[in-house]
Amino acid sequence: GQSLEQPSEVTAVEGAIVQINCTYQTSGFYGLSWYQQHDGGAPTFLSYNGLDGLEETGRFSSFLSRSDSYGYLLLQELQMKDSASYFCAVGSNTPLVFGKGTRLSVIA
């Protein structure tokens, strides 16, 4: 089967850096994706890692280590608007499997 583990909640201060970890178990691994969902909104795609290493998109970066079945999402220069839930999702030869999400609260 497939499973993902990520922390349920994280709190960080505005302007700081926060890392959200994700570990997974799957077969036929394609890649690891990250989605953001604001309260009342829909999940929106943030980033994708198909190969080991770091992918950077503005203030957000995502990292993957396939040998460790581990990835993380790094958010820099946190803003209040970054308060949301963040989901990691594993792609394989089946539809994406989503983690249960990490609720990030950014405080002043």
Partner 1 sequence: DAGVIQSPRHEVTEMGQEVTLRCKPISGHDYLFWYRQTMMRGLELLIYFNNNVPIDDSGMPEDRFSAKMPNASFSTLKIQPSEPRDSAVYFCASSLGQGQTQYFGPGTRLLVL
Point out which residues bind partner 1 (CB under 8 A). Answer: 28, 30-31, 33, 41-45, 48, 87, 89, 91-96, 98, 100-101
Q: What are phi and psi of 74, to 5 degrees?
A: -115, 125
> Shortest Cβ distance from residue 101 to partner 1 (Å)?
7
Q: Considering the complex, state which of residue 78 and residue 87 has its C-beta at the smaller distance from partner 1.
A: 87
Strand pairing partners for 70? 23, 65
> Shortest Cβ distance from residue 75 to partner 1 (Å)?
19
The β-bridge relationship of strands 9-13 and 31-37 is unpaired
Q: Considering the complex, state which of residue 26 and residue 61 has its C-beta at the smaller distance from partner 1.
A: 26
d(CA 107, CA 71): 25
